């Protein structure tokens, strides 16, 4: 189409010349992206995002907010508080539950990474950090369970307290697994859902086991 | 122009390193040191990624997930019209801080490994990954900015058969978005 080619080239160049050159000389003050926002805005925006995700975990509705803007602050805070509560409590010695603290950390993060790899290898559509984000935030019920267990253990360590702890930990374990499955299972093809849910079940089971078998010195 | 940002850029990184080296003097408890260093590293990661990068050198990078659930890594570079002496000094401090600290944490990694103080290994690995992630992100922004500028100049002075698609890579608000890499 030689005739059409002539027409299109002569109309293209002036249009592109006008579009590209003035854009370069626009002042950066007309920038409406977040490159120039004040620092306080950035902090408040991120804090609100973290808070919204905590609320989503407690009332798991099917929303994409948790998945869309992932962040790892919540998992960090939860992991640190869980690991702090899980260690002996005797200060002033060099190995005061030191290995235990790092163990909890490694179990949680390494376990989350392995589950994410597993779901990606099974053909999931969720991204790496999104999955880490969801798994980390869904540790929240178990952290609450740990808090309750420590309070119950202050009252005594007999059979009654064990039964109470068992019920609480069991309920929170179920909540965690259901919450994370609600977010993660959708990204899998339907015949693979069980293969993805089982490692998540195992992950939260191990954490619940650590919580249940915790006895202070 | 941004003395507070420069201070904080270096403050968290250097305090993390100092705390790691002298943790025995501060406290006997392994847990307190671990948590303190981890929190310092996290604050450093967040502030360098979200605040000091854009204030000191006008670069920014993030990850965004679109409607299909695909993740894109976006690298943004602000085109700075003038280069004042103060911004050059700030930029130099920024890049020095960004490059030297991961190197120090890598040295810590080897010293921990060979002295078999393995309980610190998790922390050192976390430190290396957080700081290297920032380093990698900003280098990608910087290289992307330079590549896009050279692409723009070659387009203005270059050949005549310009495909229409390329003019869209420079967005209307004076910044350049580059490098929408594919799904991770």
Average pLDDT value for residue range B36-45: 93
**pLDDT of res. B166:** 41
Q: What average pLDDT does range A21-32 have in this prediction?
A: 39
Cβ atoms of B174 and A27 closer than 8 Å? yes
Q: Which residue has the higher pLDDT, A167 or A2?
A: A167
Q: What are the C-alpha distances in Å from A93 to residues A89, B31, B40?
A: 11, 11, 23
pLDDT of residue A35: 59
> Which range scores top for mean pLDDT: A121-125, A128-132, A170-174, B168-172?
A170-174
- Report chain A residues whose CB lies below 8 A from the CB of B35: 80, 84
Q: Which residue has the higher pLDDT, B170 or A71?
A: A71
Which of B38 and A187 is assigned the larger pLDDT? B38
Rounded to the nearest angstrom, the minimum Cα separation between B54 and chain A is 6
> By percentage, how much of chain A surpasses pLDDT 90?
26
How do residues A163-180 score in pLDDT, each as one tens digit? 999 999 999 999 999 888
Least confident of A61-70, B2-11, B112-121: A61-70
The residue written with tokens 């609100």 in the block is A48
* Most confidently modeled range among A51-55, B35-39, B62-66, B80-84: B35-39
Q: Report yes or no: A36 at the B interface, CB cutoff 8 Å.
A: yes
| Nearest chain B alpha carbon to A26 | B174
Q: Look up residue A78 and give its two tokens.
A: 């939860």
Rank A82-96, B49-63, B116-130 by mean pLDDT and report only the highest.
B116-130
Looking at residue B6, its pLDDT comes to 85
**Higher-scoring residue by pLDDT: B30, A5:** B30
Q: What is the pLDDT of residue B180?
A: 42
Confidence of residue A22 (pLDDT cuts 50, 70, 90): very low
The stretch B132-159 carries a mean pLDDT of 75
Q: Is there a contact between B183 and A20 if contact means CB atoms under 8 Å apart?
A: no
Which chain A residue is nearest to residue B157, measuring alpha carbons?
Answer: A17
Place of tokens 């991204």: A127
> Which residues touch A164 (CB under 8 Å, ≥6 apart)?
A152
Residues B29/B35/B40/B45 CA torsion (nearest 10 deg):
150
Residue boundaries of the structural domains of chain A? 65-89+98-213
Find tokens 């010293």 and name the residue.
B111
Q: What letters, b where the CB count within 10 A reaches 16 and e where it falls short, cover A146-167? A: bebbbebbeeeeeeeebeebee
- Interchain pair A97, B42: CB under 8 A: no
What pTM was computed for the model? 0.74
Comparison of pLDDT for A22 and A5, the residue scoring more: A5
Which of chain B's residues have a Cβ under 8 Å away from the Cβ of A70? Answer: 63, 65
C-alpha distance from A163 to closest chain B C-alpha (Å) = 30
Cα(A118)–Cα(A100) distance, integer angstroms: 26
The answer to whether the CB of B94 falls within 8 A of the CB of B9 is: yes
Taking the CB of residue B171, how many other CB atoms lie within 10 A of it?
13
pLDDT mean over B121-141: 90
Among chain B residues, CA nearest to A39 = B51
Residue B174 with chain A: CB contacts under 8 Å: 23-24, 26-28, 30-31
Most confident of A24-28, A153-157, A189-193: A153-157
Interval B156-163 mean pLDDT: 55
| DSSP H stretches of helix in A86-158 | 98-121, 128-137, 140-155
SS (H, E, C) A39-99: HHHHHHHHHHHHHHHHHHHHCCCCCCHHHHCCCCHHHHHHHHHHHHHCCCCCCCCCCCCHH
Contact residues on chain B for A20, CB-CB shorter than 8 A: 152, 155-156, 167, 170
pLDDT at A168: 93
Calculated CA dihedral for residues A19, A25, A31, A36, nearest 10 degrees: 150
The reply to whether A20 touches chain B by the CB within 8 Å rule is yes
pLDDT at B175: 44
* Distance separating alpha carbons of residues A51 and A54, to the nearest angstrom: 5
Higher pLDDT, A143 or A87: A143
From residue A14, alpha-carbon distances to A5, B137, B156 in Å are 15, 36, 12
Which pair of structure tokens corresponds to residue A69?
A: 């803007």
The sign of the CA dihedral B54, B16, B41, B138 is positive
- Please give the pLDDT value at position A202: 93
Tell me, what's the pLDDT at B17? 93
Residue B176, φ and ψ in degrees, nearest 5? -115, 130
B179 pLDDT higher than 80: no
Check pLDDT > 60 for residue B22: yes
ipTM of the complex: 0.70
Q: Which is higher by pLDDT, B177 or B68?
A: B68
Q: What is the pLDDT of residue B2?
A: 78
Length of chain A: 217
The mean per-residue pLDDT over the stretch B96-104 comes to: 91
A153 vs chain B: nearest CA distance in angstroms? 22
Q: Chain A contacts of B52, Cβ < 8 Å?
A: none
Q: Which residues of A touch B38 (CB under 8 A)?
A: 76, 80
State the residue for tokens 């580059």.
Answer: B178
């Amino acid at each position: 189409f030689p005739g059409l080619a002539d027409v299109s080239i002569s109309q293209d160049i002036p249009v592109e010349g006008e579009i590209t050159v003035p854009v370069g000389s626009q002042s950066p003050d007309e920038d409406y992206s977040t490159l120039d926002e004040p620092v306080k805005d950035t902090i408040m925006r991120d804090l609100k995002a973290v808070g919204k995700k905590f609320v989503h975990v407690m009332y798991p509705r099917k929303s994409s907010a948790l998945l869309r803007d992932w962040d790892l602050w919540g998992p960090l805070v939860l992991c640190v508080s869980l690991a702090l509560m899980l260690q002996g409590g005797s200060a002033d010695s060099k190995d005061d539950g030191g290995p235990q603290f790092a163990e909890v950390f490694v179990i949680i993060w390494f376990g989350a990474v392995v589950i994410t790899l597993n779901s990606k290898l099974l053909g999931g559509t969720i991204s790496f950090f999104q999955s880490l984000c969801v798994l980390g935030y869904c540790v929240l019920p178990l952290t609450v369970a740990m808090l309750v267990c420590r309070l119950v253990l202050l009252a005594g360590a007999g059979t009654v307290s064990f039964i109470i702890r068992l019920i609480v930990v069991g309920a929170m374990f179920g909540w965690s697994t259901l919450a994370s499955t609600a977010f993660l299972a959708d990204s899998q093809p339907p015949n693979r859902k069980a293969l993805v849910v089982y490692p998540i079940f195992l992950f939260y089971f191990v954490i619940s086991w650590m919580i249940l078998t915790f006895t202070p010195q | 122009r941004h003395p507070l940002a420069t201070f904080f850029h270096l403050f968290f990184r250097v305090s993390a390193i100092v705390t790691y080296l002298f943790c025995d003097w501060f406290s006997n408890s392994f847990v307190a040191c671990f948590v303190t260093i981890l929190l310092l590293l996290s604050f450093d990661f967040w502030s360098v990624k979200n605040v000091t990068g854009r204030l000191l050198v006008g670069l920014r990078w993030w990850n965004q997930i679109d409607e299909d659930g695909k993740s894109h890594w976006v690298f943004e570079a602000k085109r700075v019209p003038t280069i004042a002496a103060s911004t050059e000094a700030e930029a130099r401090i920024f890049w020095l801080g960004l490059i030297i600290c991961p190197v120090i944490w890598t040295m810590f990694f080897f010293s921990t490994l060979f002295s078999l103080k393995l309980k610190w290994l998790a922390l050192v690995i976390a430190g290396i990954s957080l700081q290297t992630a920032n380093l990698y992100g900003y280098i990608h922004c910087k290289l992307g900015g330079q590549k896009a500028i050279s692409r723009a100049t070659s387009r203005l002075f270059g050949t005549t058969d310009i495909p229409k698609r390329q003019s869209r890579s420079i967005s209307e608000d004076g910044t350049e978005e580059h490098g929408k890499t594919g799904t991770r």
